[in-house]
Structure 1
Amino acid sequence: MRFRNLFIVAATLLIVSSCSTQRYISYFSDLTPGESELTVTGSSEIKVQPKDELSILVNSQNPKLTNLFNLPVVSQQIGLENPSASSQGISGYTVDSQGNIDFPVLGKIHIAGMNREEVASCIKEKLVQSDLIKDPVVTVKFMNLNFSVMGEVNRPGQYKISKDKVTILDALSMAGDLTIYGKREKVLVMREENGKQHVYGINLCSGNHIYSSPVYYLQQNDVVYVEPNGTRARQSTVNGNNVRSTSFWISLASLLTSIATTIAVLVK
């Protein structure tokens, strides 16, 4: 009888522990297929910030005229017999600390806080209003935007932002997803806003929390950090809670004492 009660108690503890562990491993555990409809909040577009570098190309039916507004870069190719041989490229415009770029002929243009389309529209409008080009086509691209992923992921590192919208899920996928030791209920995103560093937390186990987060869409220079769970922390040192440590045996003794107490209550 005692052994049967002991088995029941041990099995119950194992099941509860297993369910608790699964709850902190599965993504989107609160979503049901076909029944969940969530609204994404937060700004989805990447806006221009100081120190960003942009490629701005102006085209029209008059190539000679548009060349005045495109910055050429002449880079000599090493090893060529003709020293005058070169390859042509386009230089980028660096946004200064005030949020301006120094554009040919037009002078300083304030573009901080704009997205790519707004920058292109602004420059196009100024070219037409100044009667410089009647039919300009302006193309704007970001050149140096990155975000970083650190901590318990399979491929930590710095990644380029190659499209206008990059989500936290995109970032973690690019980094090879979390390792089994990453805290899915506590992923941190560090973002500099108005000269101050802000830290946001995301619970990957909750779809509602992910899609309602202000950092669901990443911005340039964001840092994503995945904190290690208790298992990883204990593995990092022999002083952790493992079979080589005193704390492990104390924890085991505490568990056995709890089981014995429960059995005694059941027997009564």
Structure 2
Amino acid sequence: MKKILFFACLVVFATSCISNKRITYLQNLPDNTPIELNEFIPFAEVDYEYVLQPFDIVEIDFATSDPELIEAFSFQNSQSMGGVGGNSGGGGGSDPLYFRGYSIDKNGDVEVPKLGKIRIAGLTEEEAKEKVQEDINQFFKEEIYVKLRIAGIRYTTLGEFNSVGVSVIYKNRATIFDALANSGETTILGKKNKLFIIRQYDGGTKIHQINLNDRSLLASPFYFIQPNDILYIEPMNIRQFGNADNLTASLALIAGLLASTLLIINLVTGN
């Protein structure tokens, strides 16, 4: 009986342990060969330049030596934003650029006062800026400077993240690790080799599987997240024993029960 309980205890701990290989970022899979600290890791092989899509939000500012020329755009001035910056999670905090930014409609247009609708979907930030600049140059004789940029990167986290929901990073470029840090990291039970990115494209939606354990991710086009990405990370099978918060307590309880049972058997048998 004692042998059975002993082996049962070993099985419980053996099946509940989580290997470091399953939770360590940026390993050299599959051989896990160590690299020198000063070894150069190539940047993403593709030039990352986001193409604007319908339902994106952009910030457009105007500047000129004659303030009267841009009175129609004064509500859009970035100075009225109150110093927006940094990262914002999905739970609290306001998102002023959602209310003050220009939303690209389903046809790919933004509607700018005085200028009307301008098609910018399918263009990069720089190309969209030049497009708005061309239109405003035709409307005004005086020189007006245009600044256009993405109004933050909005993305959604689901699954084994410590913070799930919609988050915003107020940058025009963010990596997958920026998103992880901004969302409180993954739980210890998240399968880091099973992170799925649900991404919008012109022709529809695609699902990409990402392996956070693999160092080659740094040279992948999915190293950068894009606006409206949905990040979902699968739970490990050990999830059935409890979540990341109560797993240790559950295992301690099991170990305690087994130890108590062994003690009772020893007392009864006199061994």
**Alpha-carbon deviation of 1:193?**
1.5
Report the equivalent of 2:124.
Answer: 115
Which of 219, 232, 236 is 2:239 aligned to? 232
* Runs of 4+ residues deviating >4 angstroms: 69-73
Q: Relative to structure 1, is the Cα distance of residues 191 and 231 closer, same or farther in structure 2, using a 3 angstrom cutoff?
A: same
Q: 1:155 aligns with which of 150, 153, 163?
A: 163
| Whole-angstrom CA distance in 2 between matches of 1:144 and 1:195 | 23
Counterpart in the other structure of 2:175:
167
The one-letter amino acid paired with 1:23 is K
CA distance, structure 2, for counterparts of residue 222 and residue 138 of structure 1: 28
Q: CA deviation at 1:132?
A: 0.9
Amino acid across the alignment from 1:116: E
**Using the alignment, how far apart are the partners of 1:92 and 1:27 within structure 2?**
36
The reply on whether 1:205 has 2:203 as its aligned counterpart is no
Residues 41, 211 of structure 1: 8 Å contact kept = no
Structure with the largest fraction of helix = 2
Deviation at 1:102, TM superposition (A): 2.5
Residues 92 and 198 of structure 1: is their aligned pair in 2 closer, same or farther, counting only changes over 3 Å? same
Q: 1:151-172: per-residue Cα shift (whole Å, max 9, x none)?
A: 1121222111310111111111
Tell me, in whole angstroms, the C-alpha distance in 2 between the residues paired with 1:68 and 1:135: 16
Report the TM-score when normalising by structure 1: 0.66
Query: For 1:67-112, what per-residue CA distance to the aligned partner results, in whole angstroms no more than 9, with x for missing partners?
Result: 2455579xxxxxxxxxxxxxxxx94322121211233333332111
> Do the aligned residues in 2 keep the contact of 1:55 with 1:93 (CA within 8 Å)?
yes
Counterpart CA distance in 2 for 1:143 and 1:168 is: 18
Indicate the residue corresponding to 2:7 in structure 1: none
> How far off its partner does 1:117 sit?
3.1
What residue ranges of structure 2 are gaps of 5+ in the alignment?
1-9, 29-33, 78-98, 244-249, 252-271
In structure 1, the partner of 2:227 is 220
Give the alignment of 1:2-81 within 5 angstroms.
21-30=19-28, 32=35, 33-42=37-46, 44-70=48-74
- The TM-score normalised by the length of structure 2 is 0.66
**Number of matched pairs:** 207
Taking the aligned partners of 1:180 and 1:131, their CA distance within structure 2 comes to 57
Using the aligned pairs only, state the percent identity: 29
CA distance in 2, matches of 1:196, 1:233: 35
Greater displacement, 144-153 / 185-194? 144-153
